[in-house]
Amino acid sequence: MRQFFRGVMRYAHTKRDVKENKKSTAILFQILSVLLSLLCVLLYTNMQYLWQHIRTIISTYNGSEPLASFLKKYFRQYPILGSRDRRMLSTIVYSWYRCAGGLSTTPAIDKATTGYLENAAKSCLAWCHVSGKEYDRLFTNIPELPTVFSLDTASLFKHSIVLSAGINSTEWLQSMLVQPQLFIRIRKEKDKILSLLSARQIPFEAINDTCIALPNGSPIDTFLPPDSYVVQDASSQQTGEFFAAAADEFWLDCCAGAGGKSLLLCDRNPSVRLTVTDKRATIISNLKNRFRQYGLKLPESHICDAASESQLDTIHKDRLFDNIICDVPCSGSGTWARTPEQLHFFNPVAVERFHTLQKSIAQNVAKHLKPGGRLIYITCSVFRQENEAVTAEIANNSRLKVMQQQIINGTSIHADSMFVAVLQ
């Protein structure tokens, strides 16, 4: 279309045509005018089409699955949506769930008012520091409302749940408005990695000798050597400071998940004798593939629900470990800046459920510690009930004592926040 317009313009401005055939030139300009008008209509229609999708997504998504998964399925139903359309829709929807809980209007207006969603979404993008010409076009011709939208970040989380020591409520809620950065842990070839990033003009920041922060969405998988780095949040990397592993020790990662902590442990201490368990077979399979990718010795692995004392006893019998990593399931409240839909749809009942589960897992696996062994309790929650309250109960109901515990607060560097405790 663009090339056609340029061709028309070149033809219309040719001196020979202007002099010899002014009538043809006038006709061409009329055609061009009609085509430009048609293009404007098409652009407006496309913007309206995108708003229909935004309304549908917000009205049908209920938080029962990750928003990323929901959007992936949704976009699959509409292959006509191009990559730019999908990106715009995703950005607007994520911004909506970051801010919607704290939205208010002065004077108050009904949310069903024509133009409410469009004006509210525009405000959400501004609060989340999102801008660009494509968004400007999206908000062309939306009806202006006789009200002012404002955001009260304190209203984003209306529940009276106590936060762990080391987390400031205002800073935590303010962090929800910004997409966290992408962090990698450098395993080897640091100079090569930094050189490749610089060559592609991808900005980065060194958090420490092995942790690099990058803009979220950086396509590093297309050019960095795959075995030279691990994608791992900065706070998750920092949990390794609490491992203090010695050569040839026996370690258990009882809720191994994707294996981030296990990989960190083995990269730092290749001689440890590691066993990993998780109740999901696919997760264990993926973990082993990651160990193969990085050229690490495969750990002993078992499918086991650590919340089941009988399953643990069946697998480990009388076996004892020097150290156990207990990275338990949790609310994930320390990671909600990545998944703001969890903040928006949060049900406080879940905290008590997680507390009970966490206590059960920790107390079950603690029985498989050697005398003098250490339990490293980890969550990605900022709620005291999932953190200090759990470690206190473990200490009250076992021989273990809390040696140290703290929040790893990632808000200042746009990272996750985590809790780690060492009991011995």
Q: Which domain holds residue 72?
A: 2-151
Tell me if 359 sits within 8 A of 379, measured CB to CB. Answer: no
Is 355 domain-assigned?
Answer: yes
C-alpha span between 369 and 94 (Å, rounded): 43
Is 180 domain-assigned?
Answer: no
Say yes or no to pLDDT of 57 above 50: yes
Least confident of 30-34, 76-80, 222-226, 418-422: 30-34
142 and 257 within one domain: no
Torsion angle of C-alpha atoms 251, 255, 259, 261, degrees rounded to 10 = -60
Residue 56, pLDDT score: 95
405 and 272 within one domain: yes
Tell me if 134 sits within 8 A of 180, measured CB to CB. Answer: no
Tally of domains in the chain: 2
Grade residue 259 by pLDDT with cuts at 50, 70 and 90. Answer: very high
Is 398 domain-assigned?
Answer: yes
Residue 333, pLDDT score: 98
248 and 121 within one domain: no
Least confident of 111-115, 219-223, 253-257: 111-115
Is 216 domain-assigned?
Answer: no
Is 291 domain-assigned?
Answer: yes
The domain boundary residue, chosen from 122, 151, 180: 151
- What is the DSSP code string of 183-221? EEEE-S-HHHHHHHHHHTT---EESSSSEEEE-TT--GG
Average pLDDT, the chain: 91
Q: What is the pLDDT of residues 323-371, one digit of tens each?
A: 999 999 999 999 999 999 999 999 999 999 999 999 999 999 999 999 9
CB neighbour class for 75 (10 Å; exposed up to 12, middle 13-18, buried from 19): middle
258 and 131 within one domain: no
Cα distances (angstroms) measured from residue 34 to each of 3, 27, 31, 39, 40: 16, 11, 5, 9, 10
Residue 143, pLDDT score: 84
Select from 278, 247, 284, 254 the least CA-distant residue to 369: 254
Is 211 domain-assigned?
Answer: no
Residue 32, pLDDT score: 55
The domain boundary residue, chosen from 126, 151, 176: 151
> What is the maximal distance between C-alpha atoms in the chain?
101
Position 114, amino acid: T
Residue 9, pLDDT score: 52
Is 130 domain-assigned?
Answer: yes
Is 185 domain-assigned?
Answer: no
262 and 119 within one domain: no
The domain boundary residue, chosen from 87, 118, 151: 151
